[in-house]
Each structure stands twice: as C-alpha cells, then as structure tokens.
Amino acid sequence: MSAGVWRDRVVLPLAGVVLVALVWQGIVALYRLPVVVLPEPWAVARTLAGLLPTAAFWRDVGVSVFEFAAGYSAGVVLGVGAGLLLGESRTFRLTASPVIEALRFIVPFAWIPLTVLWFGTSYTGKIVLVAYAVFFVMTVSTTRSIMQVDPTLTRVGTMLGMGRAALAFSVHLRAAAPAIASAARAAAAVGWIAVVAAEYIGASAGLGVMITNAATSLQTATVIAGMIAMGLIGAAVSAAVGWLARSRLDYR
Amino acid sequence: MSGAALAFEEISHHFGAGAERVDVLDRVSFDVPAGSVACVVGPSGCGKSTLLSLAAGLARPSAGTVRWDGREVRLGPNLDLGMAFQQPGLFPWLTVRQNVAIGLRTRGKAKAEALAVADEFLATVGLSEFLQAYPSQLSGGMAQRVGIARALALHPRLLLMDEPFAAVDAFTRIKLQQELKALLKRYAPTVVFVTHDVSEAIVLGDVIVAMTKRPAAVQRIIPVARQDRDRSSPAYATKLAEALACLGVTPESGGE
C-alpha cells in the first residue's frame, strides 16, 4: 500500500472512530456517569469481544439476517414487478396509484401491532414487515425510473420489431437497471431498520430481542455492543447489495 | 426483398391541444413508388422527422392515412421497417455489434448469423475495430454510423432515414453516401431520406420533396434525373439552384 492509500483507507477512517471514542470517554469522565447509564467505550468493546465467541449471539444475528434476507428478497421482486407494471400501463397506474400513495406513507412501524396480532412473535411477521418496507421503496423508484427511460430507446425498440412485453423487459427494465440497483441499496438500509425495530416489540429471537433483554437487566454495555453489531451488519449488508448490483447491473 | 409503395394521404398532424397546440404537418400528400428514394428537404423544425415517425408507426397522424404496401400503417412494430434516427439511440448496455444484431435476433435470426451480419454492416460503415466497444466509448458520428448499420442490417423493405449523416464528418459522409447508394441498388428498398442538405438529396434521391416551413406542406416535388447527380455537371448546378430557390435561398447566400 502506498502512503496515500494507507492514509485514505486506514489512518483517516480510524481517526474518526478514535475521535468518537475519545469524546464518549470524555463525557463519561466529565459527568462521572454510572456504568448503567453509559459504560466506557473500552468496556463496550470488551463486552462485544466477549459476545463474539458465544453461540447465542450468532443465533440472534442469524435470526435477524434470515428475517431480513427473506423479506428483502420478496420485497425487491414484488416491488420491481409492481413498479414495472405501473410504469408500463397507464390504466394500472391510474387504478393503483391512490392505494400505493396512501399505503406508502403508513410507515412500516405502524404495522407492528397488527403483525404481532396476526403472526405472533414468529419470523413471518418480521419477514412481512421487511417485505412491506422494501416493497414501497422499490415500487416507487422502479416506476419512476421506468417512466424516465429515454423515449428514443422505446422508438428504437419498436423499430427493431419489439412488442410491448419485449420493450418492457429487454429495453425499459434494462435501461432502468442502474437506477433500480441504487434503490435496492437504499431499500436494504430500510429493510434492516425494519427488522430490528420489529424485534424490539414482538419477537422471541434476534438482535433486537438481545438488546431489549439486556436493557431490562440493565446490562448497558451489552445494549450498546448489540447496537454496534447491528450497525456493522447493516453496513455490511448494504455494501454487499451495492457490490452485487454494481457488478451485475451497472453498464455505465 | 425489394420495397413496396409508401403513400402519404392528406396527412395533418399537431402536438398538444388548446392554446399550446402546435400544427406541424398540413395535408401532406405524396407517393413513394416501390424501390424509389424520396429525399425530404425543408427548414429545420418543419416536421420532417414527424413525417418519418408516422410512416414508421411510431405515432398516429391527427388526420389522414399513411399506407405501406396498400395497408394503413398502425401503431406498433412493422417487420418491413428499418430506420436510422437522428439521435441514434443505441442501447448503452450492449456492445456495438450486439446493438446491430439485436434487431435481427428480434426477427428470429440465430445468434451466430445475426452477429455475422452485424459485423458485415459495421465493416461497411467503417467500424470493424469497434465491434466490442460500448456506445459510451463512441463519438457522435460513430454512434450515428452504428445506427445506420443497425437499420441496413435488417435488410428492410422500407428504409427511413432521419438526417443520418448529420453528425458525420464531410469525408465520411461522402463515403457513406456512396456505400448507401450501392446498398440501395442491391436491395432496392423503398426509402424516405430526410436531410437539410440539398446536394445530398440530389445525389441520393429519385425525387426531392421540398417542404414549406411549419406547419409543413409539400411545396414542390422535384424529380432528379441520373445526369443531375454528377456533382461536376452543369445539370447538377441547375438542379441545386432549382431546389434551393424552392426553399427560398439563392445559391450565393445558401450555406447548405
């Protein structure tokens, strides 16, 4: 690694983390906060390191990631499908738009009581919730990007002999793919947030459950360690989706 | 496959409605006999491109009928058609040769055959070295030549070209005109060629259809004879002057 890369990739990002830890440490020292309110960063790091070798921790992570992956896949497939239909068919757009516009401003969290009622604390409720959150992000952005495809490409496709279906799949969807891929990355963040939030309220396993359980027994270091794990996993998921989308879909 | 007759019958067209209505075509009528070349010239923005869209079935005329091979042209794909657009509209996710081959694939050709035909026509327009390039790597003139190859590779019975050489340099332009003439002779499609270059219209056209400014009507149809096409002959100069006068320019003041 050259000096420049070393500085950009390692030194500066690390400096940011150290700075936050120092401020955190400073606050704890300045206000003499008890460990139940805010433990020192070092204690949290030790707790996190202690969690890593335990099977229980990985089971919680596994449950959350599974719920996310299932709901996210369903939400993306259904959302892109619905977005394509909305973008292609004026009749469908005029019929479905009022419903979609109304539903998409009911935030996923508003559905948590109902999903608990309907699905209990099973995985299904969380999967549905994630799919719901992801679906609207994908539908709205797919519709928009399909409708923004350069009309010249449609004319060219028609000239080449393509009917409506061929135009929709081979031209419009393909042309919109890079925009849909960026939306898929944004939707990953939304879906991950939905999973953990749902686990806070109605679940029997998962990162959210681990965190709420730790909080009720005042293990604040575990709460924060769980939060950090949540953030890291979310970032990793988002990066993975972004990488997948770029390598498979982006022709720019 | 050679061409069939194309007929514009009392075509009027407008965009928008009410106060924003713009009339672009006003009762345009002319015939393009099977296998002949009609060059449409006229002031820019007069509706020449619209006329081509109507012939291609990419839009419906507000009034009147376009007939291809005796049947009314309807919205939607027409497998007799090949068209080169002013903006070439290449698919950015496909390579140059895939862009040319995709129309042949749509028409049921096997992949290998489609690619072979694509390579042949890309050689014709001088792009053999760019088969694997992506559209974003091409200059405007090169992209336009890919668009021309894409239209010609379809062996269309009806070839519509919308200022296809506009972004091509003068040298390549003359070379492409010659190549196009040779191809037209070989396949004898029916051609409507839109240009604002009157000399190009004389070299390529059997007739020149001179349009008025918007809303465009047919001002005059000027037949072009074989001897008119020799750029060094007096007949060419006379024909050029005649066509330009029709468009309201004298050769001394006219640039194009």
With an 8 Å Cβ cutoff, are A174 and B53 in contact? no
What's A23-88 look like in SS3? Answer: HHHHHHHHHCCCCCCCCCHHHHHHHHHHHCCCHHHHHHHHHHHHHHHHHHHHHHHHHHHHHHHHHH
Q: Based on the domain organization, do B38 and B89 belong to the same domain?
A: no
Q: Based on the domain organization, do B188 and B249 belong to the same domain?
A: yes
Report chain A residues whose CB lies below 8 A from the CB of B109: none
pTM above 0.95, yes or no: no
Backbone angles phi, psi at B32, to 5 degrees: -120, 105
Q: Based on the domain organization, do B36 and B22 belong to the same domain?
A: yes
- Tell me how far apart the alpha carbons of residues B170 and B167 are, in angstroms, rounded to a whole number: 9
Does residue B146 belong to the interface with chain A, where contact is any CB pair within 8 Å? Answer: no
Closest CB to B76 among A152, A158, A174: A158
Q: Based on the domain organization, do B162 and B219 belong to the same domain?
A: yes
Q: Based on the domain organization, do B240 and B162 belong to the same domain?
A: yes
Which of B98, B88, B91 has its CA nearest to residue B139? B88
Q: Based on the domain organization, do B245 and B164 belong to the same domain?
A: yes
Q: Which residue among B149, B173, B207 closes a domain?
A: B149
Does residue B85 belong to the interface with chain A, where contact is any CB pair within 8 Å? Answer: yes
Does residue B148 belong to the interface with chain A, where contact is any CB pair within 8 Å? Answer: no
Q: What is the CATH number of the domain that holds B54?
A: 3.40.50.300
Does residue B79 belong to the interface with chain A, where contact is any CB pair within 8 Å? Answer: yes
With an 8 Å Cβ cutoff, are A251 and B106 in contact? no
With an 8 Å Cβ cutoff, are B92 and A160 in contact? no
Residue of B49, B50, B58 best to disrupt the A interface, most CBs of A under 10 A: B58
Three-state secondary structure call for residue B140: helix
Residue of A nearest to B158 (CA): A159
Three-state secondary structure call for residue A196: helix
Question: Is residue B5 within 8 Å of B33, Cβ to Cβ?
Answer: yes
Q: Based on the domain organization, do B65 and B115 belong to the same domain?
A: no
- Tell me how far apart the alpha carbons of residues B111 and B102 are, in angstroms, rounded to a whole number: 9
Q: Based on the domain organization, do B162 and B63 belong to the same domain?
A: yes
- Tell me how far apart the alpha carbons of residues B144 and A156 are, in angstroms, rounded to a whole number: 13
Closest CB to A161 among B79, B134, B151: B79
Backbone angles phi, psi at B29, to 5 degrees: -135, 125
Q: Which residue among B97, B132, B149 closes a domain?
A: B149
Q: Based on the domain organization, do B254 and B163 belong to the same domain?
A: yes
DSSP label at residue B137: G
Q: Which residue among B149, B173, B205 closes a domain?
A: B149
Question: Is residue B219 within 8 Å of B160, Cβ to Cβ?
Answer: no
Three-state secondary structure call for residue B27: strand
CA distances from B34 to B1, B3, B191, B197, B222 (A): 11, 5, 9, 24, 18
pLDDT in tens, chain A (252 residues): 677 888 888 899 899 999 999 999 999 999 988 888 899 999 999 999 999 999 999 999 999 999 999 999 999 999 999 999 999 999 999 999 899 888 888 888 888 889 889 998 889 999 999 999 999 999 999 999 999 999 999 999 999 999 999 999 999 999 999 899 889 989 999 999 999 888 888 778 899 999 999 999 999 999 999 999 999 998 998 888 888 877 777 665
Three-state secondary structure call for residue A22: helix
The whole domain housing B105 covers 81-149
Say if strands B190-194 and B37-41 run parallel, antiparallel, or are unpaired.
Answer: parallel
Q: Based on the domain organization, do B75 and B108 belong to the same domain?
A: no
Q: Based on the domain organization, do B124 and B44 belong to the same domain?
A: no
Strand partners, B39: B193, B208
With an 8 Å Cβ cutoff, are A161 and B106 in contact? yes
Residue of A nearest to B105 (CA): A160
Q: Based on the domain organization, do B75 and B19 belong to the same domain?
A: yes
Domain count, chain B: 2
CA distances from A49 to A56, A71, A225, B151 (A): 14, 29, 9, 65
ipTM for this prediction: 0.87
Instruction: Give the full edge-to-edge strand order of the sheet including B37-41.
Output: B81-84, B158-162, B190-194, B37-41, B207-211, B218-223
